[in-house]
Each structure stands twice: as C-alpha cells, then as structure tokens.
Chain A
Amino acid sequence: MFKRRRALIALQVALANCVSAAATAESYDLGRTPTSAAIAAWDIAIGPLGAELPTGHGTAEAGADLFAQKCAMCHGATGREGPDPVLAGGQNTLATDKPIRTIGSYWPYATTIFDYVRRAMPLQAPGSLRPDEVYALTAYLLYANGIIEHATIIDGASLPQVLMPNRHGFVVAPRD
C-alpha cells in the first residue's frame, strides 16, 4: 500500500515536472516579430477561397498576347502542343488508357493557376509578372480550356467563383 502510494506521488511529481518543462519550452525567445511589410512582400500563397488575391484584373484577350510572348515557346501556340506540360484540352480522357492531365481536364481549383503562374513562371524569369499579367494569363488558360468566355474579366472576385470541370474529381484517401 505504501509502495503504491509512493509510486503515485512519484508519478504526480513526474507529471508536474513534465508540465513545467513544457511551460518553459514554450518560450525560447528566439526570432523577431516580422513587420507587416515583410510579411506582405512574401505572402504570395493563394488559397482556394482566393482571399489573398491581389488587386488587378485581366481577360483572355490580353492574355493571348502574353501567352504568345512568354509561354508558347515551351507550351505550344495554344497550350496543347507542348513540349512542356500540356495546359489545355484533355477533358473526358481521365478514365481512358491515355489520360491527358491539363488545367481544364484535371486541375480542381482555378486559384492554383494564378498562384503557380505568379510564383514559378515564366521558367526563365519566375516571379516577374505583374498581377494584371497573371490575371490575363489565367483568363487565357481558362478560355483555352473552354471554361470561361473570351471577354470574361478575371479578378480577385471572379477567379475563386470559377468552377473547374474536375473540381469533384479528387478524393482524399490513402493509397492502398
């Protein structure tokens, strides 16, 4: 009985130590508080709700010229020819032996186009496009996939509303 009691006390002491160690560990007081300007300069990730989308807008018409200048040399004149990833077409091919995974056939969210083009494209000058240019290219890519009209204005309000053809094609499931 005494032994058990001592063990219980030892356990309580150990738990208390644990708690105090955790409390200490909560503050190493390392690092600084970033300025809001420092955060804003790097905060380029666009989530599926599009809340972080910057001011600006674009249409497929403006995007077509930009695409020809900055993208077609890798992705082909209309985004279908390659050699680098095919960006348009391929709808209704996912369940076939030769699926073509493009923005129009596969990508579930339109916001991903803006996010990726702004951060990673064009290949030789990533991060060089202004928001209006990214909106215009995004509009062009959506138009090239038959998802929006030629004159549709793509901006921070309209882009998250675009329903991608494969929006419901993904399941969160472990691979067997």
Chain B
Amino acid sequence: MDTTKQQGGPATAHGARSPAETSARLVDPLGDPRSTQSLTPLQDLHGIITPSGLHFERHHAGVPQIKPEAHRLLLHGLVNDAKIFTVEDIKRFPATTKNYFIECSGNGYREWNGPIGQSVQETHGLTSCSEWTGVPLKHLLGEAHIAPGAAWVVAEGADGAAMTRSVPLDKCLDDVLVAYAQNGEMLRPEQGYPLRLLVPGWEGNISVKWLRRLKVVDRPYQTREETSKYTDLMPDGSAKQFTFVMHAKSVITYPSGKHKLPGPGFYEIRGLAWSGRGRITRVEVSTDDGASWQECRLQGPVLDKCHTRFSCDWRWQGKATIIQSRCTDESGYRQSTRTELQAAQGKLPSYHYNAIQRWRIDASGEASNV
C-alpha cells in the first residue's frame, strides 16, 4: 500500500500507538494471580522515560477504581491544624515536576543465587521511570503545622489493603511528593490515581498509591509491610529493618536475554543505570567476560534518583562472550557482583538485589542470562 497515494486517517481525540507496536507488560510472571504484578519491557524502551501504560505494577489488593471528586486526603496526628484536602485542593498548591525512578525492592529477587529470568523484562522489569508532578509534602505539612514529638508519617492507601507504611519525617520534609500526574497526564489507576506518595530513591512499596491519609506520629507504626515484608533477613537470623534506599544498579538492555544478533559487526550496547542515593557518575561495560572494562557514554540528562541511559560502541567478532555493565553513583558506591552481594548479605534470596547482570552472547548471536 502506497500511503502517498491516498488520504490518511482523521485526527483523534486520544492517540494510540501504531498497531504494529505490541510491546507489553509481562503480567503475572510467577503464575500466581494473587501476587498482582506486571513487569516493564525494558528491552523495548528508549531514553529514560517509561511510557505510563508500561510502568510496572505491584498491588496488594488489586487496583481500586476511585472517583476523583469523592477522593480525600486526610492529614492529621501530631499537627496543630489537621487538614482534609480534595484532589483539586492538592492541585492548587505550588507544583513540582521531577523525573524519578520507582523500583520494587523485590526486583531481581529470584536472581539472588543464579540466573532464572530469561529476558531483562523478567530479571529487571520491576523498575520504571517517569516524570512525576505533585506538591512537595513539606507544603502540606506546613499547612498543618507539625507539633512537637513528630518523627514519622504513616501513609495509607485507599485500596482494599489500606496499604500502610511509616515514612521518616526528615524524608517527608526533604523530597517526598504527593503526586497526581505522571508523564504529563493524571496518574493511571494502577499507579495510584488520583493521588500517590512519591518517595524518591526508596523501595517502591513506600510510595503508597491511592493515598488517602497521612498521620504524623512519634515512631514507626510497625505495619505489616515494614515488619513481615520488606525487611531483610540475614544469615544469623537477625533482620534489617527500614532498609529504604535502592542501591545503584545497571543493566544492559540491548543486547539482552532473548535477543539475537544478526551477525558480526557494529552494535551500540545500550542500557539503564540508576541509584537511590543520587546521580549516576559512571557506567562501565565489559564485553570479554570481565577481563577488561570500558567507559560508557552517559546520555543526558543525568538526574538525581532517575534512570540514566548509557551506551558504548562494540564490534562483535562473532565469538561467544559475556557482556555486563557496572555503575557508580555520586556517593562513590559501585555496583558489585552476585558473589560479592552473597558474601555481604548471605545466600537467602531477599529484597534489594542489585548485582551486576551478565548476558552470554553465543557464537550464533543469541543472548541469554548467565
């Protein structure tokens, strides 16, 4: 069909991608519908922004359908002036727009002791990155006037689990947002419509979706999601609690598991790096199973607590090899190997897996997780 010989379709009220584009989230990767999760197809994405419809999901009681006009955010507890806000109230505050990644601390959990997932979507698909717009929580706390003794804020969702986490007040007064928009439009229902907490750089679970209540308190409330779950059990039987920060991590997204290189020649290795401690300062790639490392290009913008796109040139000789990336963030932390991670944390699969990802390229050009 020669599209230059006929009129095209009409303008539309809401655009949709080309029917030829079929990239999709991987829903229910563990075969357990009760775990309600879906993974971002990192292998298909460009730049640093995850399209909103491809942002990973992890729900604790499904996706509630909320009417925005009926939704309220209650702010109370150790404050002098408790407040209740409508969504329109929240949108009237001075707005802030920032790019941040959100990563589930369970991302890569199954990779702890060896390769399991086949594609980068399966190994790393519980991270996504968006432009978020909202009101800094410190503005809302300023309206309510924090009272003496305040030290934590309990954030609660309007989902069927009324999902609850305790957030240190210092972080709330630093960079936490009450977000209502993602990538220029109102949040998607599965991302917390109409309001969510956005806690930059920290494990995704604490960015409570469908946010309906903030209670200022004097201590963490030891909710189920910060005791029974999202704690890191160590080999000696003790458990680390409130390990909020997501550590620096990088992964090559092209070529990655399930890709097949058509033949020897030039390839641009591409990938993503991010850190909950700030900016990525350096990414290195090895194409010879770790014998040597080369400096990658960081494609700007390089932002605080945000996915950063990296790339480097590679001429593949057509021989089997292993490619991998490692990143360093502005705190000086450098991503470690799986062996080093196991030495520090033990061999029990846990949250916050961030080891170097290795992809084998075999002589036929097929990439696989090793």
Contacts and interface: CB of A to CB of B under 8 A. Distances in A.
29 contacts: A25-B139, A26-B143, A27-B143, A28-B92, A30-B93, A30-B143, A31-B83, A31-B84, A34-B82, A38-B84, A42-B212, A44-B162, A45-B154, A45-B164, A47-B217, A47-B222, A48-B221, A106-B227, A106-B239, A112-B224, A115-B224, A120-B60, A120-B61, A120-B161, A126-B162, A127-B162, A169-B238, A175-B352, A176-B344
A172 B222 contact: no
A84 B221 contact: no
A94 interface: yes
A119 B208 CA distance: 15
B332 interface: no
Task: Report the interface size class on chain A.
Answer: 35 or more
B141 to A, nearest CB: 10
Contacts of B76: 34, 39, 43
Contact of A126 (B93, B160, B224, B232): B160
B83 A112 contact: no
Contacts of A170: 227, 231, 238-241
B236 A28 contact: no
Query: Which 7 pairs of residues, A with B, have the shortest CB-CB distance?
Result: A95-B237, A94-B237, A31-B83, A34-B84, A116-B224, A175-B243, A119-B162
Given A45-B164, A123-B34, 11 more contacts: A30-B93, A47-B222, A94-B238, A97-B347, A111-B222, A119-B161, A119-B162, A123-B61, A170-B227, A172-B241, A175-B245
Nearest to A121: B161
A149 B154 CA distance: 32
Interface in A96-127: 97, 99, 101, 103, 106-109, 111-112, 115-116, 119-120, 123, 126-127
A38 B74 contact: yes
A43 B164 CA distance: 12
A31 B34 contact: no
B238 A171 contact: yes
Interface in A27-53: 27-28, 30-34, 38-39, 42-48
B233 A42 contact: no
Given A39-B76, A48-B222, A175-B240, A95 B235 contact: yes
A126 B61 contact: yes
B237 A169 contact: yes
B232 A175 contact: yes
Contact of A34 (B83, B143, B231, B239): B83
Contact of B247 (A26, A33, A175): A175
Contacts of A115: 164, 221, 223-224
Nearest to A92: B237
Contacts of A171: 238-241
Interface residues of B, number: 56
B348 A99 contact: yes
Interface string B157-171: 000111110000000
B142 interface: yes
B222 A25 contact: no
Interface string A118-141: 011001001100000000000000
Nearest to B212: A42
A171 to B, nearest CB: 6
Contacts of B239: 94, 106, 169-171
Contacts of B164: 45, 115, 119
A39 B240 CA distance: 33
B289 interface: no
Interface in A64-85: 84-85
A120 B144 CA distance: 28
B83 A42 contact: no
A136 to B, nearest CB: 19
B83 A28 contact: no
Contact of B92 (A30, A32, A119): A30
A99 B233 contact: yes
A47 B218 CA distance: 10
B142 A106 contact: no
B329 interface: no
Interface in B40-57: none
A173 interface: yes
B222 A112 contact: yes
A38 B83 CA distance: 11
Contacts of B22: none
